[in-house]
């Protein structure tokens, strides 16, 4: 029912998790083992089985990622990873960790760091032409040239830009137009520019037919002063 893989994207090793669909009683049993009481209350409030499965997969992936960094972490259900605000959005990490998670269908991706970091996973494989202007500028589309709707680079670029948004703890996808792709780097590195994150790196690729991405930023000392 559950498989866990630690991916390699540049210097990062995010946790990828697959949670296959199953009976509701098995999902409830897993939630009781993984979720803290406040998380369980929020999880139960979603109602729809699909939403519950995705939300649970994201929290489980994030807690596994944290355990890799904090081996003495207690039982998973003793840790709460709740939204910073409201019912969704960026997660409040423990003990100074920034935690980022994403879920799409049966898949979830998560990573944590002591500096700004974001991840995304995108199972959509086709982008209609009318969607492209939403997340790619005219300059970016000119650089990319004519791409078929199912070109794998499109979901990777979307995932990279969403990962950057999560790095800056954005709550709105509308800000995706503020992030600019400037070229393909070596290996899985992808060159992107964001005025709000001057020390930004991003990496993306394809895993099990899905686009995965991680972005991080190291804030300069003078920027913090």
Q: Do domains 2-114 and 119-224 have the same CATH topology?
A: yes
Q: Sort 210 into a burial class: Cβ within 10 Å, 0-12 / 13-18 / 19+.
A: buried
Could you tell me which residues are beta bridge partners of residue 159? Answer: none
* Rounded distance between C-alpha atoms, residue 176 and residue 185, angstroms: 20
Using one digit for the tens of pLDDT, what is the confidence trace for 130-158?
Answer: 999 999 999 999 999 988 999 999 999 99
Q: What is the DSSP string of 6-28?
A: E--BTTB--EEEEE----HHHHH
Give ∠ CA 173-177-181 in degrees, rounded to 5: 120
For range 88-96, the mean pLDDT: 90
Q: Where are the alpha helices (DSSP H) in the chain?
A: 24-34, 37-45, 49-69, 132-135, 138-144, 153-167, 221-224
Angle between helices 37-45 and 49-69 (to 10 degrees): 150
Q: Which residue has the higher pLDDT, 219 or 213?
A: 213
- Confidence (pLDDT) at 76: 93
Q: Where are the alpha helices (DSSP H) in 46-152?
A: 49-69, 132-135, 138-144
- Confidence (pLDDT) at 73: 86
> Which class does domain 2-114 fall in?
alpha beta
- Domain 119-224, CATH among 3.90.470.20, 3.20.20.140, 3.40.50.2300, 3.40.1710.10: 3.90.470.20
* Residue 105: Cβ within 10 Å count: 16
pLDDT above 90 (res 81): yes
User: Where do the domains of the chain lie?
Assistant: 2-114, 119-224
């Amino acid at each position: 029912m559950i498989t866990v893989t630690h991916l390699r994207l540049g210097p990062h090793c995010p946790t990828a998790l697959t949670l296959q669909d199953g009976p509701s009683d098995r999902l409830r049993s897993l939630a009781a083992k993984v979720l803290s009481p406040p998380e369980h209350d929020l999880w139960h409030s979603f109602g729809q089985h699909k939403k519950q499965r995705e939300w649970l997969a994201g929290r489980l992936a994030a807690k596994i990622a944290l355990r890799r960094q904090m081996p003495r972490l207690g039982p998973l259900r003793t840790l709460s990873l709740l939204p910073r605000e409201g019912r969704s959005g960026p997660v409040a990490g423990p003990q100074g960790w920034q935690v980022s998670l994403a879920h799409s269908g049966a898949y979830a991706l998560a990573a944590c760091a002591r500096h700004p970091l974001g991840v995304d996973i995108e199972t959509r494989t086709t982008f209609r032409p009318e969607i492209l202007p939403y997340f790619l500028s005219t300059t970016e589309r000119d650089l990319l040239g004519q791409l078929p709707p199912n070109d794998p680079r499109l979901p990777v670029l979307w995932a990279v830009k969403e990962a950057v948004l999560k790095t800056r703890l954005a709550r709105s996808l509308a800000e995706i137009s503020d992030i600019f792709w400037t070229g393909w780097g070596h290996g899985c590195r992808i060159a992107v520019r964001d005025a709000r994150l001057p020390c930004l790196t991003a990496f993306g690729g394809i895993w099990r037919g899905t686009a995965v991405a991680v972005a991080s930023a190291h804030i300069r000392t003078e920027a913090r002063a």
